[in-house]
Amino acid sequence: MAKILPFKAVRPIRAKAGLVASRPYEDYSAEELTAQLEHNPYSFLHIINPGYKFQQNLKGGQRFQMVKNRYLEFKEEGTFIRDKKPAYYIYKVKSRGSSISGIIAAASAEDYKEKVIRPHEDTIKDRELLFKDYLKTVGFNTEPVLLTYPDNQDINCIMREVMKSRPEYEFATPNRETHYLWVIDQPGLIEKIQKEFENTSQLYIADGHHRCASSYRLARESREANAGHTGEEPYNFFMSYLISESNLKIHEYSRLISSLNGHSKEEFLILLDENFRIENRGLEVYRPSHKHHFNMYLDGEYYSLYLRKTNYEFSDSLRKLDAYILYQKVLKPILGIEDLRNDKRIAYTHGRNDLIELKTRVDSGEFAVGFGMLPVSIEEIKEIADENLTMPPKTTYIEPKLRSGLTIYEF
């Protein structure tokens, strides 16, 4: 039974929502970041990059405190206001050819502990602790954890009806997306949505594993420090964006490797032949159409690689995963890459980028070979999570990617 609650969001006033909202910080080039900070005083980037005001590169606890200070300034100036009633928030992102809608709400940290909310990726303890300390200092959360749930016709019906009304926010962005936000604060609708999630046995983390784990650490630490703990305090929850499984967009990550680990091209192909049926496609761009098929770009030519299944045992959901097969049969034994997170010889490009990027980066000499595969399915994600297994790093690139600063959860 999932505990998904409405909350009183801190939000920008309607007139400034489009100016406040920002992409994730790491998505900006240095030039873009400078332009935003110089020319848009309302950008949320001023909060998450507080050192700009003093032309200082801040780190650690000092930066965390300055983030809080900038946030308080936005509230004091009236750019941010807090809703007077708890609400759910429908957030819709519309781009050319697609439209994705979900509900922003507060999810239970205890549900994460009890595996009602299930992960499929590993987290790094140091990152968990760092972000927990950040949350504790700033006292708010602005990047929701992306959770997915089985399609629910009752929730879909409520969302469709609400989205017939005028949205609280509607603004376009330079990447040709339009963003919408509706506020659901009617008690009857809130009760219906809450009950539907209570009848949901499992939710799955699609994106935001470290944010989820850090929020649980903060909840546990806050509970231990509070003698009057009830379980209903805001620190027991974290902001989430809940999206139905059919609405989720999952892309793959391609792998780029800087060298053949001392092998010649011919030696490399012979080593691959032990576990794959190889076909040289020449200049024909090859895209896999089945699981356990891979595309490879090497020395100006495309290849298709089909796993020889007689040489491989599919003993669990992880071993069925193409990213894991590529690691076990190519990256680790042939190319010598064991640490997928930290080895400098490997890089990743997500599937929203065309395969031409993979070709371009290999042709430039930056990389020696590139590999691609089909995206992971939601069924594979759920199987991995249900078996308490974890995917290799950079297995999924999941959309939507929300704008920061539109709803803020305080604790």
CATH classification at residue 150: 3.90.1530.10
Please check whether residues 151 and 257 belong to one and the same domain. no
Are 242 and 149 spatial neighbours (Cβ–Cβ below 8 Å)? yes
List, for residues 273-302, the tens digit of each pLDDT value: 999 999 999 999 899 999 999 999 999 999
Query: Rounded to whole angstroms, how far apart are CA atoms 168 and 101?
Result: 15
Please check whether residues 297 and 151 belong to one and the same domain. no
CB count in 10 Å sphere of residue 290: 8
List, for residues 304-313, the tens digit of each pLDDT value: 999 999 889 9
Please check whether residues 235 and 285 belong to one and the same domain. no
Give a yes or no: residue 389 inside a domain.
no
Return the bridge partners of 12, or none. 80
Please check whether residues 77 and 118 belong to one and the same domain. yes
For 168, the token pair is: 């609280």
List, for residues 316-374, the tens digit of each pLDDT value: 999 999 999 999 999 999 999 999 988 999 999 987 667 788 899 999 999 999 999 99
Give a yes or no: residue 197 inside a domain.
yes
Give a yes or no: residue 189 inside a domain.
yes
Please check whether residues 157 and 290 belong to one and the same domain. no
Give a yes or no: residue 383 inside a domain.
no
Return the bridge partners of 247, or none. none
Give a yes or no: residue 384 inside a domain.
no
Are 298 and 367 spatial neighbours (Cβ–Cβ below 8 Å)? no
Please check whether residues 263 and 338 belong to one and the same domain. yes
Query: Rounded to whole angstroms, how far apart are CA atoms 245 and 149?
Result: 6
Give a yes or no: residue 159 inside a domain.
yes
% pLDDT > 90, the chain: 85
Query: Rounded to whole angstroms, how far apart are CA atoms 245 and 223?
Result: 33
What is the pLDDT at residue 27? 85
**What's the start-to-end Cα distance of the chain, in Å?**
23
Please tell me what DSSP assigns to residue 311. Answer: G
Whole-number average pLDDT of the chain: 94
* One pLDDT digit (tens) per residue for the chain, 411 residues: 899 999 999 999 999 999 999 998 888 888 999 999 999 999 999 999 888 777 777 777 889 999 999 999 999 999 999 999 999 999 999 988 789 999 999 999 999 999 999 999 989 899 999 999 999 999 999 999 999 999 999 999 999 999 999 999 999 998 899 999 999 999 999 999 999 999 999 999 999 999 999 999 999 999 999 999 999 999 999 999 999 999 999 999 999 999 999 999 999 999 999 999 999 999 998 999 999 999 999 999 999 999 999 889 999 999 999 999 999 999 999 999 999 988 999 999 987 667 788 899 999 999 999 999 999 999 999 999 999 999 999 999 998 888 999 999 999
List, for residues 11-28, the tens digit of each pLDDT value: 999 999 999 999 988 888
Q: Half-sphere exposure of residue 403, counting CA atoms within 13 Å on the CB side?
A: 30
What is the pLDDT at residue 74? 97
What is the pLDDT at residue 337? 97
Nearest to 409 by CA among 242, 243, 241: 241
Range of the domain at 340: 253-374
Report phi then psi at 82, rounded to 5: -105, 135
Please check whether residues 156 and 298 belong to one and the same domain. no
What is the pLDDT at residue 352? 66
Give a yes or no: residue 387 inside a domain.
no
Please check whether residues 135 and 113 belong to one and the same domain. yes
Are 276 and 294 spatial neighbours (Cβ–Cβ below 8 Å)? yes
Give a yes or no: residue 55 inside a domain.
yes
Q: What is 162-214 written as a DSSP string? A: HTTSPPSEEEE-TTS-EEEEEEE--HHHHHHHHHHHHT---EEEEE-HHHHHH
Please check whether residues 33 and 69 belong to one and the same domain. yes
Please check whether residues 18 and 134 belong to one and the same domain. yes
Q: How many domains does the chain fold into?
A: 2
Please check whether residues 243 and 270 belong to one and the same domain. no
Query: Rounded to whole angstroms, how far apart are CA atoms 25 and 229?
Result: 35
Are 243 and 100 spatial neighbours (Cβ–Cβ below 8 Å)? yes
